[in-house]
Amino acid sequence: MSKTIFTGNFTQQEPIPEAAIDAAVAVMRSGRLHRYNTAPGDDGEVAHLEQEFAEAVGAKYCLAVASGGYAMGAALRAVGVGPGDKVLTNGFTLAPVPGAIAAVNAVPIYVEVTDALTIDLDDLSAKAKASGANVLLLSHMRGHLCDMDRLMEICDAAGVMVIEDCAHTMGGAWRGVPSGRHGLFGCYSTQTYKHLNSGEGGLLVTDDALMMAKAIMLSGSYMLFERHKAAPPAEAFSQVKYVTPNVSGRMDNLRAAILRPQLADLPAQVARWNALYRAVEEGLRNTPGLQVIERPEEESIVGSSIQVLVPGISASQIEAVVAGCLARGVELKWFGAPEPVAFTSRYDSWRYAPAQSLPETDRILAGLLDMRLPLTFSVEDAAVIAEIIRDEVLTARAD
């Protein structure tokens, strides 16, 4: 009996919208790509994007930068993290998060993950007390939001500032509060595989005037900060403009032009991603030996990827699942692999950080499968994908 084969492409994104292409062409025709090289009476695409994104998430201030990683680095520098400082972060995340910490010569202190793929709040509470860290760089890894109310209670009680990495949660929320709006800073990515696509890019939001003034100076504003629109007033810069180093990482008008129409379309795109997510989730639910990750009612998700757990599976069995699915056109990532593969790595691969023991994280990653859900797929495609994964898991479990 022949097996179902899926022929879709897991790395193919939708085309950039025509409105974004037209806006980008207009910027190129003007020749004014640099954010501060604007014509009289024109604030520029970057300034408009910052205003629109701040409004979209309910923030006072927004800064558009070169990447999500740069946004995290700027936030860490703005709050004063420096060489040797300890910074709490998730044990389950992607390399740019601990990389941002290491880039300011600070030390990542990893916190365990739960079966819900969110940061373990009990372990966070213990390590906040034991480590002496006063910053948490919180990764909403793969779009999973923890109980943000309890997290903020823990961090406020311990005197820990929270910087949110929202690379996978732009458009998501916890109890109606947008991702990135609980902590001091929210950091977002507009890299190709994120929810807005400019190839590379990032956004940084906060309600704190002094913190945003520092971030704007860090980004390379020189003394042109008064050209920003989603920024604090000029007096906020008086105590930082001469003492904050220029670590240039500005976004340009071309990328901002590409992003603005996509931002307007984001709610509709989120609904499309969630339809794909729910179709795969329902197709996999009740599969023997496979655990669907139930999402809490308080969480408004953006289902641009989906994760499942295969508890107690052996390394050879899960490798067989990944290989069997790939042979049938379905690309899964396994976060428990001993060596990094492409974008996928785990905390013990990041050897610029001190070795740490995370037994619960090890247990979970050993059976964790992950898959992108491009919007080039249909709901019917999602059902086929779920059928293939289910079949391969059952086959591997039977062997």
Q: Is residue 394 part of a domain?
A: yes
Q: Is residue 353 part of a domain?
A: yes
Last residue of a domain, one of 246, 261, 276: 261
Last residue of a domain, one of 204, 232, 261: 261
C-alpha to C-alpha distance for 60 and 50, rounded to whole angstroms: 10
Partnered with residue 113 across adjacent β-strands are 119
**How does pLDDT run along the chain (399 residues), one tens digit per residue?**
579 999 999 999 999 999 999 999 999 999 999 999 999 999 999 999 999 999 999 999 999 999 999 999 999 999 999 999 999 999 999 999 999 999 999 999 999 999 999 999 999 999 999 999 999 999 999 999 999 999 999 999 999 999 999 999 999 999 999 999 999 999 999 999 999 999 999 999 999 999 999 999 999 999 999 999 999 999 999 999 999 999 999 999 999 999 999 999 999 999 999 999 999 999 999 999 999 999 999 999 999 999 999 999 999 999 999 999 999 999 999 999 988 998 899 999 999 999 999 999 999 999 999 999 999 999 999 999 999 999 999 999 987
Q: Rg (Cα) of the chain, in Å, rounded?
A: 21
Check: CB of residue 35 under 8 Å from CB of residue 171: no
123-134 residues labelled b (16+ CB within 10 A) or e (exposed): bbbebbeebebb
Both 40 and 88 in a single domain? yes
Angle subtended by helix axes 18-30 and 253-284, to nearest 10 = 160
Q: How many domains does the chain have?
A: 2
Both 126 and 225 in a single domain? yes
Q: Is residue 250 part of a domain?
A: yes
| Residue range of the domain that includes 285 | 266-398
Q: Is residue 177 part of a domain?
A: yes
Q: Which helix (H) or strand (E) holds 204?
A: strand 202-206
**Which residue intervals of the chain are DSSP H helices?**
18-30, 45-57, 68-78, 96-103, 121-131, 148-158, 209-219, 253-284, 315-327, 359-365, 379-398
Model's pTM, two decimal places? 0.97
AA letter at 32: R
Both 127 and 239 in a single domain? yes
**136, exposed or middle or buried, with CB in 10 Å at 0-12, 13-18, 19+?**
buried
Give me the CATH number covering residue 197: 3.40.640.10
Last residue of a domain, one of 261, 285, 303: 261
Check: CB of residue 124 under 8 Å from CB of residue 136: yes
Check: CB of residue 45 under 8 Å from CB of residue 256: yes
Q: Is residue 1 part of a domain?
A: no
Give me the CATH number covering residue 287: 3.90.1150.10
Q: Is residue 11 part of a domain?
A: no
